[in-house]
Amino acid sequence: MIELSFSKLLLLAVIALVVLGPEKLPKAARMAGAMLRRLRLGWESVRSEVERELEVEEIRRTAKQAADHADAMRKAADAGMHSAHASVNRTVAEVADATDATPAAAVSRETRDGGT
């Protein structure tokens, strides 16, 4: 970046006074100030637009990560539900098998005890 010290600014003012003359110097200084202001405003506009785009991109990335995480959690929950469903089905089958075997055992016990 250009370093502008007080002595350099003073030298620029003297050169501008000599080149432009005392009548045109104030008008040229106002025009230069206006151009610098426009340049700064343009730069701020571009900078803010870039920052806004970066924020939008960050939000999109975060939303995608959240969606991926939610999908993974849903898949894990589905797997857990499937496992629990299979376990319940096995338990129901075991209980059904046990109840089918129980009447035969009860009948043989009643026969052995003398029956009522």
> Could you read off the pLDDT of 69-94 as tens digits, one per residue?
999 999 999 999 999 999 999 999 98
Show the CA angle centred on residue 55, arms to residues 53 and 60, nearest 5°.
Answer: 95
CA dihedral sign, ordered 97, 98, 102, 104: positive
Query: Does residue 20 carry a pLDDT above 60?
Result: yes
Res 116 pLDDT > 70: no
Provide the pLDDT for residue 21.
85
Provide the pLDDT for residue 113: 61
Q: What is the 3-state secondary structure (H, E, C) of the chain?
A: CCCCCHHHHHHHHHHHHHHHHHHHHHHHHHHHHHHHHHHHHHHHHHHHHHHHHHHHHHHHHHHHHHHHHHHHHHHHHHHHHHHHHHHHHHHHHHHHHHHHHHHHHHHHHHHHHCCC
Residue with more model confidence, 99 or 42? 42
Q: Kindly tell me if the per-residue pLDDT of 103 is higher than 60.
A: no
Q: Are 16 and 26 in contact (CB under 8 A)?
A: no
> What pLDDT, on a 0 to 100 scale, did the predictor assign at position 102?
60
Neighbours of 84 (CB within 10 A): 10
- pLDDT at 53 exceeding the cut of 80: yes
Q: Give the residue, 68 or 97, on which the prediction is more confident.
A: 68
At 3, phi and psi to the nearest 5?
-95, 120
